[in-house]
């Protein structure tokens, strides 16, 4: 029993020693062991339980996961002299932890290394290309609501040779050159987040867009007039044709009928024109000598022949 507290102390000491010689590297993490400040041995890249010399050796943990990098918008000029703001983001990984630890140290320092490499890579690549190469990704023809604009675009047609994705790849390649060899960093992705005009250029673009649209609006106005006039002109022509038809047809019909009447009466009355005249005159008297007429007759009138006395010829 005398040894009991001593044993207890020993157990505690062993425990502390034991704990100090074990360490866990969880998933998503990697570690570099240093001895008296100097890195030793191989870096630990797989998750699990590991052992080291307690107190003398220290564990420096590093991210194994994909790390973010987000650049500030940079002002630069493209090959075709366009003044733009461009904003790029990237993702990177520590692939050689030993190299990284020696050359860079912490993830935060890594960010700074990326700042330098990526920003200058962006500037170089952008200066070598036209703006359209960084905006478009294919040469598919553009569709518009009005045919006029489609024709306009087809006439201008700017084709791209590189395209947005290839430019992103070019930036990544150029930035990677320094990073991998020296710092053990792998740049896995570089993407353009935003491209925008500087304010003064933006205003000009707005003006261009406005005048372009106004031109289309005016085009619609004149097309409307033209179309309406065409329709009304057509209508007028049709109306006149119809009117002409009407006149012609009715005149023909009436003319034919009138000719027929002349033929009929001519044929019939022509059989005895004098008899016709006689009848016609009698009819005329019946019609014209009406109630209000004052008739002054001479006793020589044939009707009144008997007035002087009975006809002496009758007995003959």
Site for other proteins in 161-220 (CB under 8 A): 164-165, 189, 191-197, 202-203, 205-206, 209-214, 216-218, 220
By CB under 8 A, is residue 256 in contact with other proteins? Answer: yes
Of 35-43, 97-105, 176-184, 266-274, the segment contacting other proteins by CB under 8 A is 266-274
CB of 273 to other proteins, least distance (A): 11
- For the beta carbon of residue 248, count every other beta carbon within 10 angstroms: 10
In whole angstroms, the minimum distance from the beta carbon of 221 to other proteins comes to 6
In sequence order, the β-bridge partners of residue 82 are none
Q: How many CB atoms lie within 10 A of CB 64?
A: 21
Torsion, Cα of 249, 254, 256, 262 (10° steps): -170
Structure tokens at 199: 């304010």
Q: Quickly count: other Cβ atoms within 10 Å of residue 150's Cβ.
A: 14
Check residue 45 for interaction with other proteins (CB under 8 A).
Answer: no
Among 153, 166, 178, 180, binds other proteins (CB under 8 A): 153
Question: How many residues bind to other proteins according to rule CB under 8 A?
Answer: 124
The answer to whether 60 contacts other proteins (rule: CB under 8 A) is no
Q: Are strands 185-197 and 83-94 parallel, antiparallel or unpaired?
A: antiparallel
Q: Rounded to 5 degrees, what angle do the CA atoms 262, 263, 266 make? A: 80
Helix (H) or strand (E) holding 14: helix 4-21
Among 79, 228, 277, 311, binds other proteins (CB under 8 A): 228
36 or 274: CB nearest other proteins: 274
Among 72, 293, 315, 316, binds other proteins (CB under 8 A): 293
The angle at the Cα of 280, spanning 276 to 284, to the nearest 5 degrees, equals 170
Q: Specify the residue for token string 């005159």.
A: 281
Among 63, 96, 124, 186, binds other proteins (CB under 8 A): 63
**Window contacting other proteins (CB under 8 A); options: 32-40, 114-122, 169-177, 302-310:** 302-310
């Amino acid at each position: 029993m005398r040894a009991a507290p001593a044993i207890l102390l020993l157990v505690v000491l062993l425990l502390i020693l034991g704990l100090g010689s074990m360490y866990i590297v969880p998933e998503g993490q990697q570690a570099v062991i240093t001895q008296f400040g100097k890195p030793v041995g191989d870096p630990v890249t797989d998750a699990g339980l590991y052992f080291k010399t307690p107190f003398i050796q220290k564990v420096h943990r590093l991210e194994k996961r994909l790390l973010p990098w987000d650049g500030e918008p940079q002002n630069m000029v493209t090959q075709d002299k366009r003044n733009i703001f461009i904003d790029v983001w990237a993702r990177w990984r520590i692939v050689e932890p030993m190299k990284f630890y020696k050359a860079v140290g912490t993830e935060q320092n890594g960010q700074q290394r990326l700042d330098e490499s990526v920003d200058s890579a962006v500037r170089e690549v952008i200066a070598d290309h036209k703006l359209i190469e960084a905006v478009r990704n294919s040469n598919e023809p553009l569709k518009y609501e009005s045919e006029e604009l489609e024709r306009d675009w087809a006439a201008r047609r700017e084709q791209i040779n590189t395209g947005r994705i290839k430019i992103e790849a070019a930036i990544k390649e150029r930035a990677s050159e320094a990073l991998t060899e020296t710092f053990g960093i792998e740049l896995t992705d570089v993407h353009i987040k935003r491209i925008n005009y500087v304010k003064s250029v933006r205003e000009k673009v707005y003006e261009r867009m406005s005048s372009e649209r106004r031109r289309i609006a005016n085009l619609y106005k004149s097309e409307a007039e033209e179309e309406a006039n065409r329709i009304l002109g057509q209508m007028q022509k049709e109306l006149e044709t119809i009117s002409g038809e009407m006149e012609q047809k009715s005149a023909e019909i009436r003319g034919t009928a009138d000719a027929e009447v002349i033929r009929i009466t001519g044929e019939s009355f022509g059989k005895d024109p004098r008899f016709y005249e006689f009848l016609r005159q009698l009819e005329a008297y019946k019609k014209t000598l009406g109630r209000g007429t004052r008739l002054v007759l001479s006793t020589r009138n044939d009707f009144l022949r008997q007035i002087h006395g009975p006809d002496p010829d009758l007995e003959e």
